[in-house]
Amino acid sequence: MKKLLVLLMACLLVVAACGNKEEKTSNNDKVDFKLDNGKTIKIPKKPKRIVLMAPSYAGNLLALGVKPVGSDPYPFASNILKDKLKGVEQVKAGDVEKIATLKPDLIISFDTDKNNKKYEKIAPTIPFKYEKHNYLDIHVLLGKIVGKEKEAQKFVDDWKAKTKKDGEEIKSHLGADKTYSIIQFFQKQVYVYGDNWGRGSEIIYQAFGLKMQDEVVKDVKKTGWKEISAEQISKYTGDILLVSSDTGKIASNVTDSNVWKNMDAVKNNHVVQYNSADYWFNDPISLEVQRQDLKEKLLKLNK
C-alpha cells in the first residue's frame, strides 16, 4: 500500500510538472506580425507587459482592458485618461534604461521615434506609421495584438451605428449643406486639421459625416494638418468653426482682428470652442466623451 501511494504521488508530480511546462510554453507563444514597413517580426501572442511609446493609443489599450506598464507622458495630460492611467510608469522617448527596468514583452511606438533600434534590443517593437491607419482600423488591429479583436470590433460596430444617428440629427438641425473647419491655436502657430488627426476631426467628418470646408479638402485633408497664419484663418473657415487653444483661450490679437470679426462663422455665432487637451486623442474612451460634447454644442447652435 505504501509503495502504491509513493507511486501515485510520483505520477501526480510528473503530471503537475508537465502541466506547468505546457502553461509556460503557452504563455510564451509567439505569433508573426507584419509591420507597416513590410517586415515581419515575432510578438507575444498575448502580451502582458506593454510599454507604450505611441501615446495616441493609450486609450485604445485601456478601453480593451489592457493597462500598459509604461507610457509616454503625453496622454497623462488628458483629463479623460489621466485617472485611468494611475499606476502606469511615465517614460520619455529614448529613456531606454528605464524602459528596460519595466521588463516589457512588447513595445509599441511610432515609426518617427529615433530610438526604435534601441527599443528592439529590449523587446519586440511595433513602430506604427500613424497616418497609415484609420482611427477605427487601428483599434481593431490593437485588439488583435492583445488578443481582444472581438471586443474591439464590437466597439467599432456600435460606434458607427450610434454616430450615424448623431450626424443625421445634427444635419437636421443645422442643415446638411453646412461646412465645418477645425482649427487649433498654439502660442506661436495656428493649425487646421483634416479628418484623421484627433481634435474631434474623426467625429465631425467621418463619424457624423459632416461636410469639410472646400479649402480644407484641397490643402489639408491629404496631409492631415497644415500650419497657417492668423491672416489665413478665414480662408479655411467653413460655416461652422470648431476651435481650441493650448492656453485655453484664443489670443485677443486674433479675436479683435477684422479677419476674425468678419468671418461668417463668427458673425453667425457658429463658433464651437473646446478644451484642446481633451481632444488630442481618438481612442474609444476619448471619442465617447468628445462625441457627447460635440453633439450637445452643435445642437445648441442656431440655424
For residues 217-235, average pLDDT: 93
pLDDT above 80: residue 300: yes
Q: Which residues pair with 168 in a beta bridge?
A: none
* CATH code at position 46: 3.40.50.1980
Q: Which residues pair with 242 in a beta bridge?
A: 182, 272
- Name residue, grid cell 500598459: 68
Q: Which residues pair with 212 in a beta bridge?
A: 180
Q: What per-residue confidence (pLDDT) applies to 39?
A: 97
Number of Cβ within 10 Å of residue 2's Cβ equals 6
Domain finish residue from 147, 178, 198: 147
As to burial, measured by CB atoms within 10 angstroms (0-12 exposed, 13-18 middle, 19+ buried), residue 147 is middle
pLDDT above 60: residue 138: yes
Comparing 255 with 43, the larger pLDDT belongs to: 43
Q: What per-residue confidence (pLDDT) applies to 11?
A: 47
Q: Are 169 and 253 in contact (CB under 8 A)?
A: no
Q: Say if residue 69 is in the same domain as residue 110.
A: yes
Report helix, strand and coil shares of the chain as percent, to nearest 5: 50, 15, 35
Q: Say if residue 252 is in the same domain as residue 136.
A: no
Q: Say if residue 220 is in the same domain as residue 290.
A: yes
Q: What per-residue confidence (pLDDT) applies to 261?
A: 93
| Residue 61, SS3 per DSSP | helix
Q: What per-residue confidence (pLDDT) applies to 253?
A: 80
pLDDT above 80: residue 20: no
pLDDT above 60: residue 24: no
Q: Say if residue 225 is in the same domain as residue 278.
A: yes
Q: Say if residue 56 is in the same domain as residue 136.
A: yes
Domain finish residue from 118, 147, 176: 147
Model confidence at 6, pLDDT cuts 50, 70, 90, reads very low
Q: Say if residue 176 is in the same domain as residue 248.
A: yes
Q: Which residues contact 275 (CB under 8 A, 6 or more apart)?
A: 79, 244, 248
**Domain-embedded: residue 1:** no
Percent of the chain's residues with pLDDT above 70: 91
**Domain-embedded: residue 269:** yes
**Domain-embedded: residue 154:** no
pLDDT above 90: residue 2: no
Q: What per-residue confidence (pLDDT) applies to 27?
A: 47
What pLDDT digit, counting tens, does each position of 33-83 carry?
999 999 999 999 999 999 999 999 999 999 999 999 999 999 999 999 999
Q: Say if residue 141 is in the same domain as residue 201.
A: no
Q: Say if residue 136 is in the same domain as residue 176.
A: no
pTM across the whole model: 0.85
pLDDT above 90: residue 276: no
Model confidence at 5, pLDDT cuts 50, 70, 90, reads very low
- The DSSP code for 206 is I
Model confidence at 12, pLDDT cuts 50, 70, 90, reads very low
Nearest to 40 by CA among 50, 31, 51: 31
Return d(Cα 231, Cα 181) in angstroms, integer. Answer: 16
Domain count for the chain, please give it.
Answer: 2
- The DSSP code for 213 is P
- Write out the three cell numbers for 113: 521615434
Return d(Cα 155, Cα 78) in angstroms, integer. Answer: 21
Range of the domain at 113: 28-147
Q: What per-residue confidence (pLDDT) applies to 28?
A: 60
- Name residue, grid cell 477645425: 182
Nearest to 266 by CA among 244, 237, 235: 237
Q: What per-residue confidence (pLDDT) applies to 26?
A: 46
For residues 134-139, average pLDDT: 96
pLDDT above 70: residue 17: no
Number of Cβ within 10 Å of residue 213's Cβ equals 22
